Amino acid sequence: MVDVGLRDAGYHYVVLDDCWSQGRGENGSLVANTTRFPRGIRHVSDRIHELGMGFGMYSSAGSLTCARYEGSLGSEDVDAQTFADWGVDYLKYDNCYNEGQEGTPMLSYNRYKRMSDALNATGRPILYSMCNWGDDRPWDWAQTLANSWRMSGDITDSFNRVDPRCPCSGDEGYLCAFPGFHCSAMNILNKVCPLNSSLMASGQIDVHSSSLFLFAAASLTRNRTASMPCDSTKPSIAPPASTVPACVPSSTGSPFATPSP
């Protein structure tokens, strides 16, 4: 990435996705695959930092990751500290094998808040990228927990092709009961366009444009949505003025709390 000029073009994070671990050690901490990473994750992190870039890792808010490796559900505190000790700057936190802790915004909020609190408790600034696929209306609450959050199902390498695995056409906007996967770029953009700019005031909506420029695409959505080629019948999002901190927002309370009388 450095040699081809991507770092100087603004790409900052190198994120190690799924399949990196080999379970947990005797103390309960995640252990990296010693064949793939014989010098350990900290060595990888240090080398990336030496290049002037940030290092990201992956886990899931479930008992297993999407590739069926050890997840972080129930082990948020120990895993967050492990990531901090390894020098992690960015955490992509997925939604697989969530043990049924979804279906209402409160269930998803509570599950993702546990890792948000655990990351803050480490004292290390770690950008928290919440990848819950747009389930349970994260645009209503994720900005209180995370720096970036998914608002749709997985993208595929198509600009506007219809795919039955992504059942919503995009014309419904964000009101899609089943996010699906293999969604086209325009399908996702048409879903994100109706979202009000105030929902992005403290974070970034992640439109999942691709694994290569995931974070850059989220920044583009945040800063330049008004110029995107969205369906002309859908309102555009005014670009917020604030920038996103490289740390988890400190929650001031649940957005579902009952007001005092």
Q: Which residues are part of the catalytic machinery?
A: 94, 154
Tokens of 112: 């993702």
Cα R_g (the chain), whole angstroms: 18
All residues at 6 or more sequence positions from 147 whose CB lies less than 8 Å from its CB, including other chains: 127, 128, 129, 203, 204, 244, 245, 246, 247, 248, 249
Distance CA 69, CA 40 (A): 17
Distance CA 13, CA 49 (A): 10
> Residue 80, Cβ neighbours under 10 Å: how many?
27
DSSP secondary structure string for all residues of 36-53: T-TT-HHHHHHHHHHTT-
H runs (alpha helix) in the chain:
41-50, 76-85, 105-122, 185-192, 214-224
Q: Taking a C-beta distance cutoff of 8 angstroms, is the pair 132, 98 a contact?
A: no
Distance CA 114, CA 233 (A): 39
